[in-house]
Amino acid sequence: MPVKLMCVAGARPNFMKVAPLCRELGSDPDFHVVFVHTGQHYDEAMSEAFLRDLELKPPDHNLEVGSGSHAQQTAEIMRRFEPVLLAERPAAVLVVGDVNSTMACALVARKLDTAVVHAEAGLRSFDRGMPEEINRIVTDAISDLLLVTEESGRRNLLREGIANDRIHLVGNLMIDSLRGRLEQARRSDILDRLGVRGGSFGVVTLHRPANVDDGGRLRDLLAALEAVGQDTPLYFPVHPRTRERLAGLHAAHESVHFLPPLSYLDFLCLMANSRVVLTDSGGIQEETTALGVPCLTLRNNTERPVTVELGTNTLAGTTSRTILAAWEEMKGRPPKGGIPPLWDGRAAARCRQVLRAFFDVR
């Protein structure tokens, strides 16, 4: 009888992590994968297009949760996930990343005495003002098996009292997706559609509440982007959450080109051909490191320190002054990063081996 695993995804970054894992486990006759999409990201560009680009099978269950405050969304995910879990009765629930869906489904599973596996465990920004940090801490505390992307994650979990035999350094599932789709992404016509050539532009993403919910900070960030854009035109696919906050703010910013959300392949092509990426996203810090593209992270901290220590990432802060200083330094001395250990496109295979041992599959 195959081991039934329930893989949960809810938001755009989750899909890049579960796609290689679902394929790897789906090829193993000793596992049966049930894919649950919570619907935390639910519009075409943020959800359906990603599923297609990643060749991820249609979800077996779509909870269609939608948006709301953190409390509302988390509660609604839990309410809708519980009957699905009771009906399916998997051996374990596998959650990825640090979004509300991750913590909510882990909590439901744990309360129903179902094993929890957390992929991308142990990452810490040490900033509890970030909702994602709370999701990470809670999920790790109740997980039975913790799959880690970088050495800092292992150290963090050990410091928090997690037993060493529950922690496994497996590499980065997001990089599996990137490596597996990069050649296909390079065939995208996004550069022609935008009328740009490789290396002549930068890419921007912003979505974290600390950056986009404060009108004063958002204006200061836009001023910095406008200044950078005078050197290198910037293309900014706007997250739906950010679009609401930008209403009426960006009309005068002619060197920053605002775009609708892009598909995974279009965005990967744009990022791979860019001169620089300015972002507050955790996953993009990892992707730019894998691509060798300089990244200015518009935050004061990162839960992915390996991207700074070994990769191409620089913490640029959140003020116009610090961002422009980091930009000037980057222009004069672009970072020449390397690829962190185990970011080789084989993380899913290592996860499968860990899961086989955990469930004593012979």
Q: At what angle do helices 12-26 and 282-291 cross, to 10 degrees?
A: 60
Residue 167 main-chain phi, psi, to 5 deg: -105, 130
Query: Is residue 41 flagged as an active site residue?
Result: no
12 CB-near residues (< 8 Å, 6+ apart): 41, 46, 47, 50
Query: Which value, to the nearest 10 degrees, does the dihedral of the CA atoms of residues 255, 214, 212, 235 take?
Result: 0
251: enclosing H helix or E strand = none
Distance in angstroms (rounded) separating the CA atoms of residues 149 and 281: 16
Distance in angstroms (rounded) separating the CA atoms of residues 357 and 360: 5
Match 């269609």 to its residue by tokens: 64
User: Which candidate in 207, 239, 250, 257 is catalytic?
Assistant: 207
16 CB-near residues (< 8 Å, 6+ apart): 50, 54, 173, 174, 177, 178, 264, 283
Give ∠ CA 230-234-235 in degrees, rounded to 5: 155
Amino acid at 39: G
Residue 5 main-chain phi, psi, to 5 deg: -115, 135
Q: Which among 58, 15, 27, 303 has a CA at the least distance from the CA of 177?
A: 15
Structure tokens at 7: 């893989």
Distance in angstroms (rounded) separating the CA atoms of residues 267 and 222: 21
Distance in angstroms (rounded) separating the CA atoms of residues 331 and 251: 27
83 CB-near residues (< 8 Å, 6+ apart): none
Q: Which alpha helices (DSSP H) does 292-346 contain, by range?
A: 306-309, 320-332
Give SS3 for 299. coil
Provide the b/e sequence for 57-69 (b: ≥16 CB within 10 Å): eebebebebeeee
Q: Residues with catalytic annotation?
A: 207
